[in-house]
A and B are shown apart, each in its own frame.
Chain A
Amino acid sequence: MTEFEPKIVAFVCNWCTYAGADLTGTSRIKYASNVRIIRFPCTGRIDYMLLLKAFDEGADGIIVSGCHPNDCHYTSGNFHARRRWIMFRSLCDFTGIDTERIKFSWVSAAEGAKWADIVNSTVASIRAKGPYTDYKKVAKYPEKEVNHG
Chain B
Amino acid sequence: MSKIGVFVCHCGENISSTVDCEKVAATVGKYDGVAFSVDYKYMCSDPGQSIIKSAIAEKGLTGVVVAACSPRMHEPTFRKVCAEAGLNPYMCEMANLREHCSWVHEKGEATTEKAIDLVRILVEKVKYNQSLSSIKVPVTKTALVIGGGIAGIQASLDIANTGHKVILIEKDPSIGGHMSQLSETFPTLDCSQCILTPRMVEVAQHPNITLYTYAELESLEGFIGNFKARIRKKSKSLDEKLCTGCGLCTTKCPTKKIPSEFNEGLGNRTAIYVPFPQAVPNKPVIDRIHCTYYTKGKCRICEKVCPTGAIRFDQEDQIIEVEVGAIVVATGFAVKQPDFFPEYGYGKYADVITGLQFERLASASGPTLGEIRRPSDGKIPEKIVFLACAGSRDPAKGIPYCSKICCMYIAKHAMLYQHKVHSGKSYVFYMDIRAGGKMYEEFVRRAIEDDGVNYIRGRVSKIYEKNGKLIVNGVDTLLNAMPVEIEADMVVLATAGVANEGAEELAQKLHISYDPYKFFAEAHPKLKPVETNTGGIFLAGACQAPRDIPESVAMASGAAVKVAGLFSQDELTREPIIAVVNRQAAPVYSSCVGCFLCVSACPYQAIEKEEIKNRNGEVIKSIAKVNPGLCQGCGTCVAFCRTKSIDIQGYTHEQMYTEVMALLNEY
B571 contacts the other chain (Cβ, under 8 Å)?
no
Q: What total count of A-B pairs have CB within 8 Å?
A: 150
Let me know if B601 and A109 touch, CB within 8 A: no
Contacts of A116 in B (CB 8 A): 104
A117 contacts the other chain (Cβ, under 8 Å)?
no
Shortest B221–chain A CB gap in Å is 9
Let me know if A9 and B521 touch, CB within 8 A: no
Let me know if B640 and A80 touch, CB within 8 A: yes
Per-position contact with A for B642-667: 1 when CB-CB < 8 Å, else 0? 00000010110100110111011100
Contacts of B657 in A (CB 8 A): 50, 53
CA distance in complex: A18, B96 (Å)? 10
A52 and chain B: residue at smallest CB distance: B660
Q: Which of B110-118, B201-209, B289-297 contacts A (4 or more CB under 8 A)?
A: B110-118
Let me know if B513 and A41 touch, CB within 8 A: no
CA distance in complex: A36, B533 (Å)? 24
A23 and chain B: residue at smallest CB distance: B99
Q: Which of A25-33, A91-99, A141-149 contacts B (4 or more CB under 8 A)?
A: A25-33
Q: Which of B311-319, B331-339, B395-403, B629-637 contacts A (4 or more CB under 8 A)?
A: B629-637
Say which residue of B100, B507, B603 sits within 8 Å of A74 (CB atoms).
B603
B516 contacts the other chain (Cβ, under 8 Å)?
yes
B27 contacts the other chain (Cβ, under 8 Å)?
no
Say which residue of A7, A18, A76 sits within 8 Å of B664 (CB atoms).
A7
Let me know if B521 and A110 touch, CB within 8 A: yes
Shortest B128–chain A CB gap in Å is 14
Let me know if A71 and B513 touch, CB within 8 A: yes
Q: Which residues in window 100-154 of B have CB below 8 A to A?
A: 100-101, 103-106, 110-111, 114, 117-118, 121
A38 and chain B: residue at smallest CB distance: B659
* Chain B interface size range: 35 or more
CA distance in complex: A49, B606 (Å)? 25
Do A108 and B513 contact each other (CB < 8 Å), given the known contacts A33-B110, A38-B121, A41-B634?
yes
Let me know if B664 and A41 touch, CB within 8 A: no
Let me know if A111 and B603 touch, CB within 8 A: no
Do A28 and B104 contact each other (CB < 8 Å), given the known contacts A33-B110, A47-B656, A71-B508?
yes
Shortest A140–chain B CB gap in Å is 12
Let me know if B114 and A33 touch, CB within 8 A: yes
Let me know if A19 and B104 touch, CB within 8 A: no
Contacts of B570 in A (CB 8 A): none
Contacts of B656 in A (CB 8 A): 38, 40, 47, 50
CA distance in complex: A122, B619 (Å)? 53
Shortest B98–chain A CB gap in Å is 6
CA distance in complex: A38, B71 (Å)? 12
B70 contacts the other chain (Cβ, under 8 Å)?
yes
Let me know if B100 and A37 touch, CB within 8 A: yes
Q: Which residues in window 482-541 of B have CB below 8 A to A?
A: 507-508, 511, 513-516, 521, 533-534
Say which residue of B514, B603, B660 sits within 8 Å of A75 (CB atoms).
B603
Do A19 and B513 contact each other (CB < 8 Å), given the known contacts A30-B105, A36-B121, A44-B634?
yes
Query: Which residue numbers of B lie inside 8 Å of A, CB to CB?
Result: 70-73, 96, 98-101, 103-106, 110-111, 114, 117-118, 121, 507-508, 511, 513-516, 521, 533-534, 577, 601, 603-604, 632-636, 638-640, 648, 650-651, 653, 656-657, 659-661, 663-665
7 new A-B contacts, CB < 8 A, other than A24-B104, A50-B660, are: A22-B100, A24-B99, A25-B103, A28-B104, A50-B657, A76-B636, A84-B639
Query: Which residue numbers of A lie inside 8 Å of B, CB to CB?
Result: 5, 7, 9, 14-16, 18-19, 21-26, 28-31, 33, 36-42, 44-48, 50, 53-54, 57-59, 70-77, 80-81, 84, 108-111, 116
Please provide the 4 A-B residue pairs with the shortest distance between their CB atoms, ordered closest to farther.
A45-B635, A25-B99, A44-B636, A74-B634
